Chains A and B, each alone.
Chain A
Amino acid sequence: MFDPQLIRKDFPILSREVNGKPLVYLDSAATSQKPRQVLDAEREYYEHQNANVHRGAHTLGDESTHLLDVAREKVQLFIVAPRKEEIIFVRNTTEAINLVAYSWGSGYLAKDDVVVTTVMEHHSNMVPWQSAAERRGAKVEVVGLTESGQIDMKDYRKKLELKPKLVAFAHVSNTLGTVNPVAEMTKLAHKAGALVLVDGAQAVPHMPVNVAALGCDFYVFSGHKMLGPMGVGVLWGRKELLEAMPPFLTGGGMIDEVYPDHATWAALPDKFEAGTPNVAGAVGFTSAIDYLEKLSMKDVWEHDRELVAYALQRLSTVPEVKILGIRDSEMRSGSVAFVYSGVHAHDVATILDSEGIAVRSGHHCTMPLHSSMGVAASVRASFSVYTTKDDIDALITALEKVKKVFNT
């Protein structure tokens, strides 16, 4: 039984106050809060197993190596990846995309090649491709959106005619909440001969994800947005692609043999995990996935359906609020961003903060998207498993204070 009131009891931070008011945390798309189970798992790791992995032959080292392996398998099964060694641990989604942009880019992106992204991308799925294109003399083509904030499939097909080498897009937009038709877009991209990288940072926390069914080639996401600790992210990639790609970071842990003048690389996943990994983070991440699985991702998704529909409905009753993105709650997930007429997003957020309500304000790392909508900044309320309708009610009530202060 999915009961957010019970779930909330597992999140110590939700009982704190901000500015004398109970915290209403509506910024889970930036980072989610962490349940006690995750915090305990990390602490217990440091208290009982802490040692470096793959080093020597002592018990703690073996146990740490095993725990990292358990985390990898946990992630593999969670996103239905065909092979465990296809799961590469990185710091976050940004690092995962940079890994592909550098490694695959240096191996396979040539002069005048094309990479396609969309205007709704987070900067982390745009700038790494711009940089890769600059290094390789390639070009980035950006797909536009329809008026309702969905990917313009006509424009997408047109960009695919340019025969791009790779297409990169979000599963769920971090600003508009739009859920993109990943399987369909992937099929079209493959037909055009392109590889597909999907930024799943805003999808994996909310819905069951099956990378095998999506059909994409790379799928990336962060642990910290799905109840896990900061500092652990995931790159999933097809084995044959990862094997053929040159390493990203080099040094300890990622080698097979080293000679004074050259080295050979370890097999997957080690080849892409240079240096001491974040084992404690991986242990916390395991616990976060356990937590989500216990809730059932199907129910997590249903909870998100309810919250998004409720937030859209309540916000649409505020005359000063203009909601960004599609109004059909079935087409979106995780968050609702809006503009408050006559009051800058930062001013709205500061007033909401005075009522204990945490929202994101600004461009949410989507400047091109905001420019394309003619909006300098917006306010975003975003949700997680512990978010309740009461939280959204509190937001609506606090928006009345914005009206009062600014006399709009």
Chain B
Amino acid sequence: MDIYREEVLDHYKTPRNQGKLVGDDVLTASGANSSCGDSIKVYLRVTEGKIDEVRWEGSGCAISTAAASKLSQYLQGKTVKALTKMSEDELTREAIGLKVNPGRLKCLMLPATVVRKLLGN
């Protein structure tokens, strides 16, 4: 069970950067996989084109939770410009780096999909 390796379970059990951000400089977006009940809301505080702070809240399976946790760490300090150049696939590969069966792809992709939506094109 490679996908449930220790690192993934660690992020699942103690997710990083969970919480909310408030303020005029905070961007938010949310998304859900209605077929499994996974839902996530992402908050980014952007200062001068750079991501200062990342928080997210939501609930879901181990894969979507670990993906959100890992992605939140990756986003910290990145420029919006660099991120908008990355596709959902690239973002998922770079930030999360997990391989799942096609049936679980939606779980894995959800956080990156929300972040892409948030940052626009």
Contacts and interface: CB of A to CB of B under 8 A. Distances in A.
Nearest to B34: A367
A181 interface: no
Contacts of B35: 362-363
Contact of B1 (A344, A345, A351, A362): A351
A377 B36 contact: yes
A375 to B, nearest CB: 8
A183 B95 CA distance: 57
A343 interface: yes
B9 A405 contact: yes
- Interface pairs A-B: 4 shortest CB-CB: A376-B37, A344-B61, A346-B61, A347-B62
Contacts of B103: 350
A354 interface: yes
Contacts of B38: 376
Interface string A340-368: 00011111001101100000011100010
Nearest to A407: B9
B71 interface: no
Contacts of B37: 363, 370, 376-377
A256 B59 CA distance: 57
A340 to B, nearest CB: 11
Interface residues of B, number: 18
Given A350-B3, A350-B104, A354-B1, A344 B9 contact: no
B59 A376 contact: yes
B47 to A, nearest CB: 35
A314 B38 CA distance: 29
Contacts of A345: 36, 61
B9 A346 contact: no
B96 interface: no
Nearest to B2: A354
Interface string B58-83: 01111100000000000000000000
A259 interface: no
B104 A344 contact: no
B98 to A, nearest CB: 12
A367 B35 CA distance: 8
Contacts of A363: 35-37
Given A363-B37, A377-B37, A346 B1 contact: no
Given A363-B37, A367-B34, A347 B1 contact: no
Contact of A344 (B3, B34, B60, B101): B60
A28 B59 CA distance: 29
Contacts of A405: 1, 4, 9
Quick one: which of A350, A361, A363, A405 has the most chain B CB within 10 A? A350
Central interface residue in A344, A353, A370, A376, by most chain B CB within 10 Å = A344
Given A363-B35, A363-B36, 9 more contacts: A344-B36, A344-B61, A350-B63, A350-B101, A361-B36, A367-B34, A370-B37, A377-B36, A406-B9
A343 B36 contact: no
A377 B36 CA distance: 6
Contacts of A343: 62
Contacts of B61: 344-347
Contacts of B115: none
B103 to A, nearest CB: 8
B36 A347 contact: no
Contact of A346 (B34, B59, B63): B63
Contacts of A351: 1, 4
B107 interface: yes
Contacts of A376: 36-38, 59
B107 to A, nearest CB: 6
Given A363-B35, A377-B36, A346 B4 contact: no
Contacts of A362: 35-36
Interface string B8-37: 010000000000000000000000001111
